[in-house]
Structure 1
Amino acid sequence: MAGTATRYLYLTRHGEASPVEGELTENGRRQAVLLGRRLRGVPISAIHHGPLPRADQTARLVGEQLDEVPLRVSEVAGDYVPYTPEREELPPEAADHFLRFLGLFPAEERERGEALAREALERLTGPVEGDEDRHELVVTHNFLVGWLVRAAQDAPRWRWLGLNHCNAALTVIRYAPGRPSALLFFNDMSHLPAELRWTGFPAEQRA
């Protein structure tokens, strides 16, 4: 009977994209290439990515730097609101701000997002069947990175809010059998030169 092995989940937000066309800028393309080069020494078995052009283009550029790693497009890796909290779940001082932000998204879109978020936890997290460790990359968007990081930390479901990720930065979560999930690092930009760091991140939170 097969046992279970460790899953290493590599998460990245797509490269910088044009707010008009939704496709990668020249900086975004450079970010994706540099991320792919950083991952050359990692035995990535698959690249999962969302269907939007900015995620698709990032995944393809990353994949071109690796050795025949399959690309797998998935709605689960897409851009959606993963969870909408009730007011009483939120810190009182932040509730108005967060609820106003979430109100920008139609109710049916938020409901669909919650279903996809549950599926993401089922498909992308936890140890894997078999005897070999698995390394997978997910090229996605800010919301899903926050959702998976807060789950790895056993934080309340609303706590994906306020977690921000830079374009083409790298986060890694380890899911080992019989152990709690471990956030190995978050929002790491060491593969990017200074001029390509912090894009997509709120200016007031930049280091």
Structure 2
Amino acid sequence: MRFFTKLAATTVGVLCTTASAYFFVDEKKRYGVVFAANIVQSSNDISDNLVKPDQQSLSCPIRSSERWNWNWDGRHCEMNKTRAIRHIYLIRHGQYQTRTKFEDEKQLTELGNEQADWAGRALAESGITFTRLVQSGLIRAIQTATIINKYLRFNKVEQDIDLNEGFPFLPEPAGRFIDDIAKGRLELETERMERVFHRYIHRPFPSQTEDSHELIVCHANVIRYFVCRALQIPADAWLRFNLFHCSITHLVCTSDGRVICYGIGDVGHIPQERRSYV
């Protein structure tokens, strides 16, 4: 194991350039310089070739319109003193066939199978004892969960069609979606999304004595909506970010009603050249 340590930072000349060198220490206590770089102060000047912003039009930080709702899941109880924590890992399925209108034909591509395999390996090598595996009812999620389970060896995999992909909420900005909904080309499924959100995203039960680590293999819209709802971010913000295939989003729920996001759309387990989102 090699540990990298900053060796020196020296001010050089009137330009206040700092030279930083880094060295490593290996298992035999041997040292070696890895690299050195000159650090210069970034300029605050805006180039004349760029359009200067209108200072009066710049946006300001936005405060939450409401304070944190400690009873967001309807399970707040003064008697719930458990120290157990629920870890929820939301995994998007792998890349799939999109040139078809039939859901049963939207199966994983060769790349999608690879992505699911990398996700399964990473989860198995994490050292975490996962306690539950749930999949949606769509073939691309089922195939992804099946590949992941080759490494995790769950005897029982739960399936829930309420986790199927859908359009959860009218986003802001709405763009063409208002017209699509008005003309019946798109159906809002907020009721279903709310139902399944409260089914899986909630604080630990008072009877829970140990931390749980639960995996849910589903879809991008579902995951993005869950993240917004869990963090009490306006639900219409769900379309403002995207997720790679087989990315992992990690939510933590505590007994007092706190929700912490440890990562959104993590794809560190998939090589850069093998990542995709469409």
CA distance in 1, matches of 2:257, 2:97: 41
CA distance in 2, matches of 1:51, 1:65: 21
CA distance in 1, matches of 2:97, 2:180: 22
CA distance in 1, matches of 2:270, 2:181: 32
Aligned pairs (5 A) from 1:1-207 = 4=82, 5-20=84-99, 21-40=105-124, 41-68=127-154, 70-84=156-170, 90=172, 94-100=173-179, 106=185, 109-110=187-188, 113-129=189-205, 130-197=208-275, 199-200=276-277
The percentage of counterpart residues that share the same residue type is: 27
Asked if structure 2 preserves the Cα contact closer than 8 Å seen for 1:23 and 1:53, the reply is: yes
RMSD (CA atoms):
2.2
CA distance in 2, matches of 1:33, 1:82: 29
Distance 1:83 1:72, change over 3 A: same
Q: CA deviation at 1:153?
A: 2.0
For 1:64, the aligned partner's letter is: K
CA distance in 1, matches of 2:183, 2:241: 18
CA distance in 1, matches of 2:220, 2:111: 18
Report which structure shows greater RCO (CA 8 Å, sep ≥6). 1
Report what 2:43 is aligned to. Answer: none
Greater C-alpha Rg? 2
Distance 1:25 1:181, change over 3 A: same
Higher relative helix content: 1
Distance 1:2 1:176, change over 3 A: closer
Distance 1:184 1:97, change over 3 A: same
Asked if structure 2 preserves the Cα contact closer than 8 Å seen for 1:14 and 1:168, the reply is: yes
SS state at 2:255 partner: coil
SS state at 1:95 partner: coil
Length, aligned pairs only: 190
Q: CA deviation at 1:42?
A: 1.9
Unaligned runs of at least 5 residues, structure 1 = 202-207
Asked if structure 2 preserves the Cα contact closer than 8 Å seen for 1:3 and 1:131, the reply is: no
Moved over 2 A (4+): 1-5, 67-70, 94-107
CA distance in 2, matches of 1:155, 1:63: 32
CA distance in 1, matches of 2:168, 2:272: 31
Q: CA deviation at 1:128?
A: 1.8
CA distance in 2, matches of 1:78, 1:37: 25
